[in-house]
Structure 1
Amino acid sequence: MAKYTRGTVKDFPGFDARADAEALRKAMKGLGTDEEPVLKILTGRSNAQRQEIAVAFKTLFGRDLVDDLKAELGGKFETLMVALMRPTRLFDAHALKHAIKGAGTDEKVLTEILASRTPAEIRNIKQVYQEEYEANLEDHITSDTSGYYQRMLVVLLQANRDPDGHVNDGLVEKDAQELFRASELKWGTDEEKFITILGTRSVAHLRKVFDKYMTISGYQIEETIDRETSGALEKLLLAIVKCVRSVPAYFAESLFYAMKGAGTNDNTLIRIIVSRSEIDLLDIRQTFRRNFAKSLYHVIQKDTSGDYRKGLLMLCGGEDD
């Protein structure tokens, strides 16, 4: 599996789980909480190190660190610190579980995670979901979604995208022609063709298909999807196309819109910053700066406040001039 090295959060050198556990207990003991050590420690350690701190905390004090964080902190700051304590392997499975729990489905979360993860990552999510919740992720998703949107999600959940390798130019031409026939040349849209091609072809192959499609039709594939589909399916197909073109660019755009206009979508902000902090947040930052002419750090600073802002900025890891 790919070893990610473009994160902003790394292992802390000279790490001492017991010392960190003691510092956290001291910060939260008695009346009031000293948020500064909590901030500094939890944003300054890798997820693996945070899990060691949680074990040391329970060993030394017989207390659950996450329970103490929930009891002592509040609001968005608490949500961010608790998200940091969630083991990496559980993060996506937990987000998906909460997206389909209770009344209504958070399609934004399903779309973001399943469109952006690699087949290996999706297989891992399914396995963890089964272990943690004793349930089949596909069953849960199909019981909460419908139509072509559901079918596209099911294809992605199979995690059978062709591996990147040699690209067959003949098949590129054929796929581009089929997408053209399924949309621009047709009254109505043949959604099934989009689902099969976008859900099963390799990333390298799809990039060439999109270029060929532009040559044949005169349109970017995104323009056609925008015109020919709507609702949750449109958002999912566009997310897949954007992730094929560039995963960091997809997340940069998601972060930009999470903080654009009145109000901030804090759930999206926290989910992306935390989940990508050890993977590719440096790339996301660079793309954000290039595409939106301002730094991610600056926008977070402007659109958030208090300890919550401090935590996000520490995870963001600095300005991009």
Structure 2
Amino acid sequence: MALVSEFLSHLTLAHGEEAEPTYPTVTAVRDFDPIRDAARLDAAFRTKGVDEQSVIDILTRRSIDQRQEIAFEYERLTKKELQTALKGALSGSLEALMLGLLKSPAHYSAMELKAAVKGLGTDEETLIEMVCSRNHREMSDIQKVYRELFKKDLEKDIAGDTSGDFAKLLLALIQTERDRPSNVVDYEKIDHDARSLYEAGVQRKGTDVDVWISILTQRSVPHLQRVFERYKSYSPYDMKESIQKEVKGDLEKSFLTLVECLENKQAYFADRLNEAMKGKSAKEKVLTRIVVSRCEVDLMKIRREFKKRHGRSLYRAFSEHTKGDYQKALLSLCRGDD
């Protein structure tokens, strides 16, 4: 059954990389009763015009494990998959958001990556955001689920849809496991890497992209944060300014995204959310992808960064730039004003 494979895909594989601390806005609810929630959802779908508020209240206030228990009980109760019921009852951005919440993080990311490489034209923006912001453990889980869902390797699909140094960087991020963070600060290695980045870029004519890829995809995050500081003692530009001077196009965007995520991943996502709400209409696909992906990871910290960097709360921004039931769902996942 699809439900069983989805549950198994949520089990985290054991990797050498240390787990990152989490700052979720959505956590497991106490006094959880999946049978009661399944019955409430069934009643909401049967209501004339659909009781969207009940659907939002239940699915945005349960953890992924609890949502999958609800889905199991719903199928047992109605002999119909919850995903199918949601598709029949909802539409547009609200439907996409609720369906996203039913998937494990790896399953959801695999589906988003497949959408980015499928058909005519590649969605480079989504590819860059997702590949550059995931750690090796997350990417390994995504690769496994991608293979199970589509009977293809993620690396092959990306290699077939991208080219040159851009493809080389994305594939290195997918395949390479970073060094484990160490309690011992290796100042000699920090200096060596900072100097190597400078000599491979700003100091010479033409950029030795292979050196940049090697260092930026292999070293631990704390090590690279120190490297970026040390880099300023060699170069008249910081690392991001150097990238902008040395490379262009998708390679520039991906290197910049990678460095921003290495420096402060939550600030990167705060800026992405802010960018998605500029202009006359919000980019709801981007909002949905980030909120679904991060609400049980670090959305609380993203909220703080958003307020600090953009002078208003994320809650206020959602209130101003989205509307209707979709807005209600985003606000519920956001969990509060800052």
Normalising TM by the smaller chain, what interval? over 0.9
Q: What letter is aligned with 1:315?
A: L
Matched position secondary structure for 2:170: helix
1:276 aligns with 2:276: no
State the match for 1:185 in structure 2: 203
Rounded Cα–Cα distance in structure 2 between residues aligned with 1:3 and 1:154 = 22
Rounded Cα–Cα distance in structure 1 between residues aligned with 2:159 and 2:325 = 39
Q: 1:259 aligns with which of 277, 283, 292?
A: 277
Q: Is the 8 A contact 1:4 1:278 kept in 2?
A: no
Q: Is the 8 A contact 1:120 1:159 kept in 2?
A: no
Cα RMSD of the aligned pairs, angstroms, is 1.3
Matched position secondary structure for 2:202: coil
Q: 1:54 aligns with which of 48, 71, 75?
A: 71
1:244 aligns with 2:262: yes
User: 1:65 Cα shift?
Assistant: 1.1
Mapping for residues 76-115 of structure 1, pairs under 5 Å: 76-115=93-132
Q: Structure 1 residues 240 and 272, CA, compared in 2 at 3 Å: closer, same or farther?
A: same
Rounded Cα–Cα distance in structure 2 between residues aligned with 1:188 and 1:90 = 40
Q: TM-score, length-normalised on structure 1?
A: 0.96
User: 1:47 Cα shift?
Assistant: 1.0
User: 1:30 Cα shift?
Assistant: 5.5
Q: Is the 8 A contact 1:167 1:204 kept in 2?
A: no
Identical positions, percent: 41
Number of residue pairs aligned between Structure 1 and Structure 2: 320
User: 1:11 Cα shift?
Assistant: 0.7
State the match for 2:322 in structure 1: 304
Unpaired runs of 5+ in structure 2? 1-17
1:125 aligns with 2:142: yes
Q: Is the 8 A contact 2:24 2:296 kept in 1?
A: yes
- Residue by residue, what CA displacement relative to the aligned partner does 1:113-132 show, whole Å, maximum 9, x if unpaired? 11111111111111121222
User: 1:3 Cα shift?
Assistant: 6.6
State the match for 1:158 in structure 2: 175
Rounded Cα–Cα distance in structure 2 between residues aligned with 1:160 and 1:60 = 43
Matched position secondary structure for 2:316: helix
Rounded Cα–Cα distance in structure 1 between residues aligned with 2:126 and 2:59 = 24
Rounded Cα–Cα distance in structure 1 between residues aligned with 2:20 and 2:240 = 30
Q: What letter is aligned with 1:263?
A: S
Q: 1:148 aligns with which of 165, 182, 187?
A: 165
Q: Structure 1 residues 30 and 306, CA, compared in 2 at 3 Å: closer, same or farther?
A: closer
Q: Is the 8 A contact 2:106 2:138 kept in 1?
A: no
Unpaired runs of 5+ in structure 1? none
User: 1:263 Cα shift?
Assistant: 2.2
Rounded Cα–Cα distance in structure 1 between residues aligned with 2:306 and 2:314 = 6
Mapping for residues 16-95 of structure 1, pairs under 5 Å: 16-29=33-46, 31-95=48-112
